[in-house]
Amino acid sequence: MENLKSTDREMENIFKMENLKSNDAEVYDILQKELKRQQDNIELIASENLSSKSILEAQGSVFTNKYAEGYPGKRYYGGCQFADEIESLAIQRAKKTFNAKFANVQPHAGTQANFSVFFALLSPGDTILGLNLSQGGHLTHGSPVSVCGKWFNAISYNVDENGFVKYDEIEKLAKEHKPKLIISGGSAYSRIWNWQKINDIAKSVGAYHLSDIAHYAGLIAADLYPSPLEYADVVTATTHKTLAGGRGGFVLTNNEEIIKKINSAVFPGTQGGPLMHSIAAKAVTFGQTLKPEFKIYQKQVLSNAKKLSEVLSQNGIKIITGGTDSHMFLADLRPLNVKGNTAQEILEAAGITLNKNSIPYDTQKPSVTSGIRIGSPAVTARGMKENEMAQIAQSIIKVLKDIDNRKNVSDVKIEMSKLCGAFPIY
């Protein structure tokens, strides 16, 4: 026992926690490899982005250490004065960004934001109506593999053969099934949602309307995509996609009764202690959205997505809906006779990261798919513009039109690495 007794010096070392490099070289090395991967590859995953150094700083801050169950001014722990200050600031900036009366910035992610809405407004067994996951919806919009598909009677609406939301089908299904909640928004729908129309349908059957703007939030904050705030009872979103912030979710509403229910549903309903370091990063994120350069960035996100889709389409790749109104789009690879999983793999080898994605009425399994999803937020955050988008699109074509040509893959890998070198990150 005597041997296990710590000296004051050893204790000092434990709690000083030297920096990661000297304290844990194994983890440090993995982080370095991930940094290099992000630096050297073209990132086209539509739900990803690059956080600024200041956001990373806030997210890695001493707020990691703080428990603050409750809300500003009403906590279950002592020492929360600065937790209150940072959360109040994040709420105030979120409301200003989206011109919303109320905000809850505690959800750990978009899924938790959506579950808080379900917990606040629904009872088990209630009917919900959302866009089919295989047609561009999200897992939490009623997928049978998600809790929401198991605990609620989840009905799905679809897009038409050209990829556009079928509002007449929403209306028909709403009249037939009388849902308690209709969900608009999705993860792979590139066009503008008619929020008003969905709200009218919801109101005609006495349903709540939840608009999930996780993907479009940055464009909405910059007034480049319509806001649903006026037309939805409640809005959910994430901070790390087009908003270019730290990872996390949040909820907005203009309805005082609903925010009271949401607040109880987030804590203590579905979450315990809020992640105060993430909330600090959310405060920085919303601060960033309120600066004039954020609008310039979002304009470029939009132009870059359009350029990518145009060049791909001119070169024989079919773009679902024929184009995009947002930061992303789905590409149908059937004309090239290439599957989505093969495209993802071979493009990754060529230095271009994206994800395979089911296209509407896909006959391939979700692990295979006939399409890919492409998004412009991360490449735009590096400073790339239309010329670079044209180059990237041409490179995608070069690889996918001749997938057995390994030289093409290695040539493109070198070109993409050079391109990344010209637009360095961190």
10 Å Cβ neighbour count for 279? 26
Would you state the structure tokens that stand for residue 149, as one six-digit string? 């598909």
Cα–Cα distance for residue pair 125/42, rounded to 1 Å: 44
Cα distances from 86 to residues 82, 94, 231, in angstroms, run 6, 12, 29
Q: Report in angstroms how near the CB of residue 311 gets to ligand DSN at its nearest.
A: 23
Q: Which is nearer to ligand DSN, 247 or 261 (CB)?
A: 247
How far is CA 137 from its chain centroid?
13
Residue 324 lies near ligand DSN (rule: CB under 6 A): no
Residue with smaller CB distance to ligand DSN, 113 or 120: 113
299's CB contacts (< 8 A; 6+ apart) are: 222, 224
Site residues (CB under 6 A) for ligand DSN, limited to 123-142? 138
What is the contact mask toward ligand DSN in residues 153 to 192, using x (rule: CB under 6 A)? ----------------------------------x-----
**CB of 140 vs ligand DSN, minimal distance in Å:** 8
The least CB distance from residue 147 to ligand DSN, in Å, is 15
Among this protein's residues, is 67 annotated catalytic? yes
CB of residue 45 to ligand DSN, shortest distance in Å: 7
> Can you tell me whether residue 142 is helix, strand or coil?
coil
Picking from 312, 320, 330, 334, the residue whose alpha carbon sits closest to that of residue 397 is 312
| 141/261 with CB nearer ligand DSN | 141
**Contact with ligand DSN (CB under 6 A) among 47, 199, 324, 326:** 47
Determine the 3-state secondary structure of 258 from DSSP: helix
Among 66, 93, 241, 373, the active-site one is 241
**Minimum distance of ligand DSN from residue 58's CB (angstroms):** 22
**Of 47 and 288, which CB lies nearer to ligand DSN in the complex structure?**
47
Total binding residues for ligand DSN by CB under 6 A? 4
247 catalytic residue (yes or no): yes
Cβ 177 to ligand DSN shortest distance, Å: 25
d(CA 89, CA 209) in angstroms, rounded, equals: 28
Q: Which residue among the candidates 97, 111, 236, 238 is catalytic per the annotation?
A: 238
Q: Is the CB of 113 or the CB of 258 nearer to ligand DSN?
A: 113
Which one of the listed residues 43, 87, 212, 332 is annotated catalytic? 212
Per residue, the 3-state secondary structure of 370-408, as one string, reads: CEEEEECHHHHHCCCCHHHHHHHHHHHHHHHCCCCCHHH
d(CA 112, CA 270) in angstroms, rounded, equals 8
Clarify whether 238 is annotated catalytic. yes
Q: Is 110 in the site for ligand DSN (CB under 6 A)?
A: yes
* Phi and psi angles of residue 136, each rounded to the nearest 5 degrees, phi first: 120, -5
Q: Report the residue number whose CB is nearest to ligand DSN.
A: 47
Q: How far apart are CA 49 and CA 43, in angstroms?
A: 8
Give the residues across from 88 on adjacent strands. none
Q: Give yes or no: 212 in active site.
A: yes
Closest distance to ligand DSN from the beta carbon of 387 (Å): 27
Is 48 catalytic? The answer is: no
110 versus 218: smaller Cβ distance to ligand DSN: 110
Among the listed residues 260, 275, 247, 282, the one whose alpha carbon sits nearest the alpha carbon of residue 68: 275
- Which entry of 247, 318, 339, 373 is annotated as an active-site residue? 247
DSSP string, 113-137: HHHHHHHHH--TT-EEEEE-GGGT-
Catalytic entry in 24, 69, 84, 171: 69
Q: Which of 203, 166, 208 has its CA nearest to residue 183?
A: 208
| CB closer to ligand DSN out of 230 and 345 | 345
Cα(53)–Cα(59) distance, integer angstroms: 10
Binding site residues, ligand DSN, CB under 6 A:
47, 110, 138, 187
The set of catalytic residues is 67, 69, 212, 238, 241, 247
